[in-house]
Amino acid sequence: MLSDRLYCTWRELLDLQKRGDHAVSQLQVMRKADFRKGKRLGKGDHIVQWPKPTTIRSVDWPTHRDLPDSITVRECRVIIGQAGFRNKEIVVVTTLLDPKEFPKEEVAALYRVRWNAELDLRSVKTTMQMEVRCKTSELVRKEIWTHVLAYNLIRTVMAQAASRHALPPRTISFKGAMQTLEAFQPLGACCSQLRDQAYERLLAYIAT
């Protein structure tokens, strides 16, 4: 299960382990990782025991008493990059304990997939300022699809800029690309020859 920190709880991880499933999630704010403790696997990578909480919501005392005293988890320090912002350091928790089968770099890459999905949703809701104002379900769906269409068009232009200038697409700022597109919008009325030149210039600006 690839999830955000909301599901990174002792009980959730225990339930997954009982089912034979695995988790990759961000460490909750209330927990602090101490990489001086536990079984060291590498820099910023160790296996630790999480003791059973004294109380667990929705678990009665007889059930709580029968739960194991601790669970085994792996904590990895991961660097998350976002175009236009400083890199962010977070701790990822996983039940994938074998460092040979699941190297830290692969665990980090897996979590970045979820992180990028969150950033993409944030781009639609915040950067594009998506606000659903319609009252009927049919019109709400049209509003959402309009924003999704605009989002995909911006991402397409970003992908073209990245390809043209040999850049990884994720290194290009979505907000910067959207602002550049807005600035170039009046040039869309130019003749075809000038429009082609303007589009090449647009891709160059987005890539820088």
Cα of 108 vs its chain's centroid, Å? 11
- Note down the domain range covering 29: 2-123
Q: What is the pLDDT of residue 203?
A: 94
For residue 75, the cross-strand partners are: 46, 93
Q: What is the pLDDT of residue 92?
A: 95
Pairing of strands 39-42, 24-26: unpaired
Q: Which of 59, 93, 123 is the last residue of a domain?
A: 123
- Tokens found for residue 171: 């290194």
Q: Do 14 and 117 sit in the same domain of this protein?
A: yes
Q: What is the pLDDT of residue 190?
A: 73
Q: Do 148 and 192 sit in the same domain of this protein?
A: yes
Q: Do 111 and 138 sit in the same domain of this protein?
A: no
Q: What is the pLDDT of residue 18?
A: 92
Number of domains in the chain: 2
Q: What is the pLDDT of residue 123?
A: 85
Q: Do 93 and 31 sit in the same domain of this protein?
A: yes
Q: Do 142 and 91 sit in the same domain of this protein?
A: no
pLDDT, one tens digit for every residue, the chain (208 residues): 988 888 899 999 999 999 999 999 999 989 999 999 999 999 999 999 999 999 888 888 989 999 999 999 999 999 887 655 677 899 999 999 999 999 999 999 999 888 888 888 888 888 888 888 888 999 999 988 998 999 999 999 999 999 999 998 888 999 999 999 999 888 777 777 788 888 899 999 999 8
Q: What is the pLDDT of residue 23?
A: 94
- Tokens found for residue 31: 């927990």
Q: What is the pLDDT of residue 84?
A: 58
Q: Do 144 and 166 sit in the same domain of this protein?
A: yes
Q: Do 162 and 87 sit in the same domain of this protein?
A: no
Q: Do 78 and 147 sit in the same domain of this protein?
A: no
Distance CA 146, CA 85 (A): 28
| SS3 per-residue string spanning the chain | CEECHHHCCHHHHHHHHHCCCCCEEECCCCCCCCCCCCEEEECCEEEEEEECCCCCCCCCHHHHHHCCCEEEEEEEEEEECCCCCCCEEEEEEECCCCCCCCCHHHHHHHHHHHHHHHHHHHHHHHHCCCCCCCCCHHHHHHHHHHHHHHHHHHHHHHHHHHHHCCCCHHHCCHHHHHHHHHHHHHHHHCCHHHHHHHHHHHHHHHHC
Global model pTM greater than 0.75 = no
The answer to whether residue 128 sits within a structural domain is no
Q: Do 31 and 77 sit in the same domain of this protein?
A: yes
Q: Do 118 and 192 sit in the same domain of this protein?
A: no
Q: Do 43 and 119 sit in the same domain of this protein?
A: yes
Pairing of strands 24-26, 2-3: parallel
Q: What is the pLDDT of residue 208?
A: 86
Q: Do 50 and 26 sit in the same domain of this protein?
A: yes
